Structure 1
Amino acid sequence: MSTNPGTAFRPEWFESVAVNTPAAERRAASLPARRSLKKEWQIAWLLNAVRCIDLTTLSGDDTEDRVARLCAKARQPIAPELLEAVGVEGLTTGAVCVYPTMVAAAKRALAGTAVPVASVATGFPAGLMPLELRLAEIRYAVDQGADEIDIVISRALALRGEWAALYDEIRAMREACGPARMKAILATGELKTLTTVARASHVAMQAGADYIKTSTGKEPVNATLPVSLTMLRCIRDYRELSGHIVGFKPAGGLKTAKDALNWQILMREELGPDWLRPDLFRIGASSLLGDIERQISHNITGRYAAAHRLAAG
């Protein structure tokens, strides 16, 4: 997995960016209709989505037992008989994502696997904590064994256009992450415009984000295709300007197998097949995996399985 070292703060790379919202919406709406995935092709794309899922539990009543169940599902996300039917072995999810206090439990439950543990930090979901406390939370999660850190940005700095201050904060978070990969959550539903989303994306990448992520899942509006399209084009521009590659993570609101297909189509059309790998594409989800497994079961057996017949995380 490559990491993004970031760059010096370069406002000239994004200050003139202005997103045509109606055009972005038309482009995003047209993409799902361009590809029709059926039968074995649909199964293949859905299995690829599984290996890109950050299987997540971020509830106030999380316990070590709940995390252990989630990790068991991450280790065996699809029923063995379904994988055997399509000749696939060794499939896992892309990661498990938990709160910092649950990192150690997740590491124990995933021992002996290559599934990384991701942790939210920096006062998730609002990020309204003093910077030193946010940095301390990152260091705590890393000390507990987190392989990846999902940080939240200060939305107020983005809304006020204080880009240098936002860069400095994210850069400090990048340093606190140490060897862990960093995903920068932009909370796009609270940034008001696609132009602000685009500029915040550039700042996060310049500051060293390895992935840029749409949402915490706690905003009124989470991942949408127009927002994702905007962020993907910023990733493409950043690669051309800096030579560095950054991944993408939509999160919040992706609940169905159709959603998993639509976002992969978007990735394929905008960035190419290299971005359909878990080192460059993650889906933040909790309930999505169940619908994907049900759809795969239907493709293989011709019947939709009842929810109680598929193991829950």
Structure 2
Amino acid sequence: MSHDFPRNPGQPLDTSAFERQQINLRATERRAAQIATRRSVKKNYQAAWLVNAIKVIDLTTLAGDDTAARVRRLCAKARQPLAPHILQGLGIAPVTTGAVCVYPTMVPHAVDALAGTGIPVASVATGFPAGLMPLPLRLEEIRWAVAQGAAEIDIVITREHVLGGNWQALYDEVAAMRAACGNAHLKAILATGDLQTLSNVYAASMVAMQAGADFIKTSTGKEGVNATLPVSLTMVRALRDYRDATGQMVGFKPAGGLKTAKDAIVWQSLMKEEMGAPWLAPDLFRIGASSLLGDIERQLEHHVTGRYAAAHRHAVA
């Protein structure tokens, strides 16, 4: 992950930044609904938004039956996400995905497959997806993944700290994980589907950023409810408030449930409208996805040829 701005160093815990913050659920839902319905992009503009979406995808496999061969195939897709005839039809240079995201034991295979491409390897860690492991073991898992070559670490917070309002414990946990990452960038997964209220989502976002998170991320993809627009809007407003208060730029990653090209455009619209153009680049915005890329490629092929290809022609791996 290459930044042209300073990395978020964090700051001391300041509960006043969120404890008095009131989240209006109905107003948040209305604003989120506007994002999904009022912006419509067509033809070349739509193609441009979809190509940009490819550049910010963390192409992901987090299955219990992952193998080295599957990871290598995924990395091949990350290196060449669009077929040559689509690139030619669009008249653009080759693009790659923003990163490849895997389990820690798959990191060496991904690092080897992506050598020389500049595509970073992201690893989930800290007892993903539940995070219910002793903290020393979670920190050691981070260090192990970094030692294997992971450039980004997607950590999982302890939801109990949020549900119990134990903000100091949450801060200390994320700060320790940030330290364990060293030069690797930390993406803090809030598992928002488990946090019950938008006020909790806002508070957890603020604490994670104060503890030094480089990104805040909605979900593991394993919860019953993953990325939604109201939750995403709440998190984006938190990172905007944090930027305004500290001058620090923090990234955002929705994950889980984003499956269609339309989803990719909607979430990019959220970032453009709420944060501006800088948050459409991979150093400040990622989409965690596995099947999304196939639908984007299918839509781009239709743009180029006027025909929809069968889904199996655009397999992820």
2:278 corresponds in structure 1 to 274
Q: TM-score, normalised by structure 1?
A: 0.99
2:312 partner letter: H
1:12 Cα offset (Å): 1.2
Deviations 1:249-277 (A, max 9, x none): 00000000000010001111111111000
SS in 1 for 2:132: coil
Matches within 5 A, 1:1-313: 1=3, 2=5, 3-313=7-317
**Structure 1 residue 35: Cα displacement:** 1.4
What is the identity, as a one-letter code, of the residue corresponding to 1:27?
Answer: R
**Distance in 2 of aligned mates of 1:230 and 1:209:** 17
Q: Secondary structure at the match of 2:266?
A: helix
Given that residues 59 and 290 in structure 2 are in contact (C-alpha distance below 8 angstroms), is that contact kept between their aligned partners in structure 1? yes
> How many Å apart are 1:311 and its aligned residue?
4.3
Contact kept? 2:291, 2:316, Cα under 8 Å = no
With normalisation by structure 2, the TM-score equals 0.98
Distance in 1 (CA, whole Å) between partners of 2:88 and 2:151 is: 30
Q: How many residues are paired up?
A: 313
CA distance in 2, matches of 1:83, 1:32: 28
Give the letter aligned to residue 159 of structure 1: L
Deviations 1:66-109 (A, max 9, x none): 00000000000011110111121130000000000010100000
SS at match of 1:182: strand
Deviations for 1:157-181, whole angstroms, at most 9, x for unmatched residues? 0000000110000000000000000
- The gaps in structure 2 that reach 5 residues or longer are none
Whole-Å separation in 1 of the counterparts to 2:133 and 2:315: 38
CA distance in 1, matches of 2:102, 2:35: 32
Distance in structure 2 (CA, Å) of the matches to 1:178 and 1:279: 18
Work out the CA distance in 2 between the residues paired with 1:51 and 1:244. Answer: 23
Alpha-carbon deviation of 1:307? Answer: 1.5
What residue identity is the alignment partner of 2:285? F
Which deviates the most, 14-23 or 171-180? 14-23
Quick one: distance in 2 between partners of 1:65 and 1:153? 30
Q: Which contiguous aligned blocks of 4+ residues in structure 1 show a shift greater than 6 angstroms? A: none
Equivalent-residue separation in structure 1 for 2:52 and 2:139 (angstroms): 34
Q: Aligned equivalents of 1:214 and 1:74: distance in 2?
A: 22
1-structure distance, mates of 2:234, 2:211 = 19
1:308: Cα distance to partner? 2.4
Looking at structure 2, the residues matched to 303 and 84 of structure 1 have their Cα atoms a distance apart, in angstroms, of 16
The amino acid that maps onto 1:222 is N
Percent of pairs identical after alignment? 68
